[in-house]
Chains A and B, each alone.
Chain A
Amino acid sequence: MNFDFRQQPIKISSAVLAVFLGLLIGAGFILCTGNNPITVYGFMFEGAFGSTASVASTLRWTTPLLYAGLAAAIAFRGGMFNFGIEGQLYVGAFSAAIAGVYFKGMPGVIHILLCFAAAMAAGCLWGVVPALIRVKLGGNEAIPAMMMNYVAMYLCDYLTQTFFLPEDTFGQTMATELIADHTKLPKIIPPYTVTYGFVIAVILVILAHFGLKYTKAGFQISMTGMNSEFSRYGGIDVNKIRFRAMLLSGMTAGLCGAVEVMGITWRYESGFSPDFGIEGILSSLLGGNEPFGLLLGALFMGAMKAGSLVVERSAEVPRALAEVIKAFIICFVSARYLSACMGLDRIADKVRSVICRQTKEGGGRAHDQ
Chain B
Amino acid sequence: MKKRLLAVVLCVALAGMVTGCNGGAEGKTEEKEKVEQDGTKEPEGGAELSAAFVTVQPLGDPTIDLCYKGFTEAVEEFGFGKTTVVEAKAGEYEENFRALCEEGYGLIIANMPELQEAVGRVAPDYPDTKFMIALGEAKGDNVISTWNKEQYGTYITGVFAGLMTKTDKVAFLGGVDNDQLGRVGGGFVDGVKASNPDCKVEVMFVGDFSDPTKGKQMAQLLYDEGCDIIFQAAAQSGKGVFECAKEMGEGHNIIGIDVDQNGDLPGQVYGSFVTPYDKWVYEAMEEFAKGEFEGRVIYRSVKEGTTLKMAEDYVEIPKEVSDAVDEATEKIISGEIEPADTLK
Judge whether B102 is part of the interface by a CB distance below 8 angstroms. Answer: yes
A142 CA to B327 CA, complexed, in Å: 60
List, in ascending order, chain B residues with CB within 8 A of A293's CB.
3
- Whether A260 contacts B136 in the complex (CB less than 8 A), given A52-B22, A161-B177, A192-B98, comes out as no
Measured CB to CB, the nearest residue on chain A to B84 is: A313
| Contact between chains at A170 and B137 (CB < 8 Å) | yes
B179 & A172 in contact (Cβ 8 Å cutoff):
yes
Which of these binds chain B: A53-61, A66-74, A225-233, A339-347?
A53-61
A171 within 8 A of B: yes
- Contact between B95 and A172, CB atoms less than 8 A apart: no
Which A residues lie within 8 Å of B312 (CB)? Answer: none
* A274 close to chain B: CB less than 8 A: yes
Q: B58 — nearest CB in chain A belongs to which residue?
A: A318
Give every chain B residue within 8 A of A173 (Cβ-Cβ): 113-114, 178
Given the complex of chains A and B, what is the CA–CA distance between A172 and B116 in angstroms?
A: 11
Give A293 to B245 CA distance when docked, in angstroms.
54
> A272-B90, A313-B86 known; A299 and B10 CB under 8 Å?
yes
In the complex, whether B318 has a CB less than 8 A from a CB of chain A is no
Is B28 on the interface with A (CB-CB < 8 A)? yes
Taking a contact as CB atoms under 8 Å apart, the answer to whether A292 and B4 are in contact is: yes
How many Å lie between the Cα of A189 and that of B1 in the bound state? 31
The answer to the question of B319 belonging to the interface, with a C-beta cut-off of 8 Å to chain A, is no
Instruction: Specify which chain B residues have a CB less than 8 angstroms from the CB of A54 in the assembled complex.
Output: 21
Instruction: Give chain B residues whose Cβ lies under 8 Å from the Cβ of A264.
Output: 91, 94
Q: Decide: A51 and B91 in contact? CB cutoff 8 A.
A: no
Complex Cα–Cα for A209 and B112 (A): 44
Chain B CB within 10 Å — which of A173, A189, A290 has the most? A173
Smallest CB separation, B246 vs chain A (Å): 28
Is A191 part of the contact surface with B, judged by Cβ < 8 Å? yes
Complexed CA–CA distance, A92 and B94 (Å): 22
Interface residues of B in 135-172 (CB under 8 A from A): 135-137, 147
- The B interface, classified by DSSP as helix, strand, loop or mixed, is helix
Task: Please name all residues of chain B whose beta carbon is closer than 8 Å to the beta carbon of A260 when the two chains form the complex.
Answer: 91
A169 to B94, CA, bound (A): 20
Find out whether the CB atom of B116 lies under 8 angstroms from the CB atom of A273: no
Q: Are B113 and A170 in contact (CB under 8 A)?
A: yes
Contact A274 B89 (CB under 8 A): yes
Q: Which residues of A contact B24 (CB under 8 A)?
A: 51
Q: Which of A147-163 contact B (CB under 8 A)?
A: 161
Q: Is B298's beta carbon under 8 Å from chain A?
A: no
Give Cα A202–Cα B6 distance, bound, in whole angstroms.
15
Expressed in whole angstroms, the minimum distance between the Cβ of A62 and any Cβ of chain B is 10
A108 at the interface (CB under 8 A from B): no
**A264 vs B87: C-alpha distance when bound (angstroms):** 18
| Interfacial chain A residues near B6, Cβ < 8 Å | 296
Chain A interface, DSSP helix/strand/loop, else mixed: helix
Bound CA–CA A55/B116 (angstroms): 25
Min distance, Cβ A122 to any Cβ of chain B, angstroms: 20
Report which residue of A169, A172, A191, A293 has the largest number of chain B beta carbons within 10 angstroms of its beta carbon.
Answer: A172
Interface size, B (range): 35 or more
Q: Are B179 and A296 in contact (CB under 8 A)?
A: no
Contact A53 B94 (CB under 8 A): no
Residues facing B in A299-337 (CB within 8 A) are: 299, 309-310, 312-313
Cα of A174 to Cα of B113 in the assembled complex, Å? 11
Query: Are A171 and B113 touching (Cβ within 8 A)?
Result: yes
Contact B178 A309 (CB under 8 A): no
* Interface residue A271 (Cβ < 8 Å from any Cβ of B): yes
Judging by beta carbons under 8 Å apart, are B91 and A272 in contact?
A: yes
> Within residues 261 to 311 of chain A, which ones have a CB less than 8 A from any CB in chain B?
264-265, 269, 271-274, 290, 292-293, 295-296, 299, 309-310
Q: Counting chain A CB atoms within 10 Å of each CB, which of B90, B92, B94, B147 scores highest?
A: B90
* Given known A-B contacts A53-B102, A191-B125, A296-B10, A172 and B112 have beta carbons under 8 A apart: yes
* Contact yes or no, A172 B90, CB < 8 A: no
Contact of A49 with B by CB under 8 A = yes
Write the chain A residue with the least CB distance to B122: A191
With both chains docked as a complex, state the minimum distance between the C-beta of B204 and any C-beta of chain A, in angstroms.
16
Residue B14 CB within 8 A of the other chain: yes
Decide if B17 is an interface residue (CB 8 Å cutoff): yes
Among candidates A51, A191, A202, residue contacting B29 with C-beta atoms closer than 8 Å: A51
Is A222 positioned at the interface, with any CB of B under 8 Å from its CB? no
Contact A265 B18 (CB under 8 A): no
Q: How far is the CA of A361 from the CA of B116 in the complex (A)?
A: 67
Contact (Cβ within 8 A) A309 B92? yes
> Using Cβ atoms and an 8 Å threshold, which residues of chain B touch A273?
90-91
Is residue B248 within 8 Å, beta carbon to beta carbon, of the partner chain?
Answer: no
Chain A residues, Cβ within 8 Å of B179:
169-172
The winner among B25, B135, B136 for most chain A CB atoms within 10 A is: B25
How many Å lie between the Cα of A272 and that of B92 in the bound state? 10
Q: Does A12 contact B (CB under 8 A)?
A: yes
B17 touches A49 (CB 8 A): yes
Q: Give B10 Cβ to nearest chain A Cβ, in Å.
A: 7
**Quick one: which of A17-60 are within 8 Å of B by CB?**
49-55, 57, 60
- Say yes or no: A53 contacts B90, CB within 8 Å: no
Q: Which residue of the partner chain, among B3, B28, B147, contacts A51 with CB atoms under 8 Å?
A: B28
Is B113's CB under 8 angstroms from A57's CB? Answer: no
**A57 x B136 contact (CB < 8 A):** no
Nearest A residue to B26 via CB reads: A52
CA distance in complex: A174, B2 (Å): 46
* Smallest CB separation, A155 vs chain B (Å): 13
Which B69-115 residues have a C-beta within 8 angstroms of A? Answer: 84, 86-87, 89-92, 94-96, 98-100, 102-103, 112-114
Chain A residue contacts of B14, Cβ below 8 A: 55, 299
Interface presence of A193 (CB below 8 A): yes
Q: Mark B1-36, 1 if CB is under 8 A from A, else 0.
A: 011101100110010011001101110110000000
- On whether the beta carbons of B21 and A51 are closer than 8 Å, the reply is yes
Judge if B180 is at the interface, Cβ distance under 8 Å.
yes
Residue in A closest to B85 when the chains form the complex, CB atoms? A313
Residues of A within 8 A of B95 (CB): 57, 60, 192-193, 309
Give bound CA distance, A156 to B300, whole Å: 32
A309 touches B137 (CB 8 A): no
Contacts of B92 in A (CB 8 A): 274, 309
Q: What are 26 A-to-B residue pairs whose CB atoms are below 8 Å? A: A12-B3, A49-B21, A50-B25, A51-B28, A52-B18, A52-B25, A52-B26, A53-B98, A53-B99, A55-B17, A169-B179, A170-B179, A171-B113, A171-B180, A172-B113, A172-B135, A173-B178, A174-B178, A192-B95, A265-B91, A274-B89, A274-B91, A292-B3, A292-B4, A296-B7, A309-B92
